[in-house]
Structure 1
Amino acid sequence: MDYREAGVDIEAGNAVAKAIARLAKNTFNSRVVRGLGSFGGFFDISKLEIKKPVLVSSTDGVGTKLLVAQMTGHFRNLGKDIVNHCVNDIACCGARPLFFMDYFASSHLKPETVLEVIAGMTEALGEVGCPLVGGETAEMPDLYSPGDFDIAGFIVGVVDLDNIIDGHGIIAGDKILILPSNGLHTNGYTLARKALFETAGFETSFILPPLEHSLGDELLKPHPCYLEPLRRLGIWAKGIAHITGGGLHDNIIRILPEDCCALVDISQIPVPPIFEIIRRAGAIEDEEMYRVFNMGAGLVVIIDKNKCAEAIEQIRTAGFEPIVAGEITSARRDVILQGLSVENKSHQ
């Protein structure tokens, strides 16, 4: 018996690694010291031109959005998802990306699938000037069911110690700006799949009004990157929350001081139609929808009320249309979604 008979094809893995190296090279900049193939990725930090550089790291996956991609056979946007999710997370701290690494694990390597995902990654990385300096591709037939795979991303960025954005300066009277989402992004897919495909019996090819494209295309929209509008805001942003798992409440509360309460008027936030389709398909309560999904809010930015108008203009120059959807009040640390039928039940 050899390794291939046991389920792992070393030659195929090596061929995929070489193809990935070619894609990764397109993302390299002058700070990448070595190409892929070493036991580590090398990045020169000697010329960052930051007085007090602090490294900021984050890692994430795309959850069961993978299963929707498998249903459609389209995988490229998954690569964009993992990059943009990680970039947004560190951008919430005021950091800009330095380099990225990936992890791809599967039952059996399908080169076309791996390379489609990596192509999406490198495309998104190229848009933010972040090199792919390494990664891991693992073939584990005894761990994953046939056809299954998983991906994860790891990013390192940098911010000046004096410019870290962590919400500590938030005070009563500050305004809450919402940068809209374009759909589910990378969260809530387990509930969405159960509602749409198991309960309602929909298929990814269905075009469900008011959608003008297939359900599969809607669910696979790539997670937007908010780096550019945040870069233009700079230190005007007192606090930034990436609205991922846990929705508005669980993510905004992470950046609030103990004596600040965020009042969010959800009636001001346009909700993409896919969420109403999911709600009806699964007979899901509104409270649960707002607990699981972003419900139209991709990113929340807390801004001084006197700089709000200027901040809106800066965000618009980056191609996003921000929404003023509330303010900070002086009260016990909390997030209240005004307009939700049970807005105060969890706060009593």
Structure 2
Amino acid sequence: MDRSRVLFCLLLVLISAVNISTQPVTVTMLISREKPRTGDAFSLQCRVSGYNLTTDIVTIGKVNPLTRFPTTLASSEGDIAHNSPHLTSSWSTNPTALIMFLNGAMASDMGDYRCTVLRASATLTEETYHLDLLHIPSQTFPVCNSEPSQQVYYEGDIVRFVCFSDLGNPSVNLTWTRSDGGVVPQTTVTNELDSVVTRITAILTLNDDRVSFNCTSRSAEFPDYLEDCLITVLSVIPRRSAIQPPSTPSPTTDNQSSNQVTQCSNCLKQVIVIAVLGILVAIIIGLLSVIVCLCFKVKSLGKTPKEKSPKSQTLDNLDDHQYETRMQNEPYADLQKESMDNATYESV
């Protein structure tokens, strides 16, 4: 009688084992907190039904986005070594589940997590859960710049102001304002890779002189989040009186620079030609002056001096004392006659 009871019990155990082994194994992944944020503490659960404690192994791993294979972070067999100290795990029997805890979740924790049930190294079933964390961009964003970037602009210059930031989750909203309260030109917003970019194109006027353009980043899920960056137009001057400001290299500015160099070289050539012509004219005028002087000199040298009478020469050779003595000793008439004779002689 006792032997038959024992056999009956063994039969029930075998039937139960067969039923358990033939039950389908299913997994369900659950998260303990809805819309978790970076910095929150929560858990991921991999609940299993039809699990065989003696033959099955349950794991949770993060899927590599490139290879699409998971890196195991938690296992029903015990702790797994990994480089994420804020991740811990435990095995629960009621309900049957492998639980992975995230203490202070980070943006790098976002991604796909896969729960896998293995039996004899073969995959019985698996399920993937995408973990998304609400977060704001890092404090280094937003970032502003201008194209072209320079300190002095012409009136009428076309300038593009650019503001970009990490997307965040949800994506942040970037808006432009002016320091003088003026109207901001039409903006364009695009999502590029993991960034959001907003641009405005402005035709500068004198009213933009010393005006700041401010880009502000806000998030609908984080009311306290507010970051901004600033662009200051240092100077806008009239084009007619402006000195060409330095600008960033571009094909257009390169052509303008080459044209300016060509114009300057042409101006320099003209100045040199004018200077040479001036020197030649001065030399010609100097030569003409010398020739005229030489002509007058030759003409004066060509005249023959008239010969004087002996008496006239005698009178000319007398000094003042001798002349006075002769005037006293000789009659005035003789001197007058002698003078007349000299005059007659010279006329002849």
More helix by share: 1
Structure with the bigger percentage of strand: 2
Q: Which has the higher contact order (CA 8 A, sep 6+)?
A: 1
| Fold similarity call, TM over 0.5 | no
TM-score, with normalisation over the residues of structure 2?
0.19
Q: Computing the radius of gyration over CA atoms, which structure comes out larger, 1 or 2?
A: 2
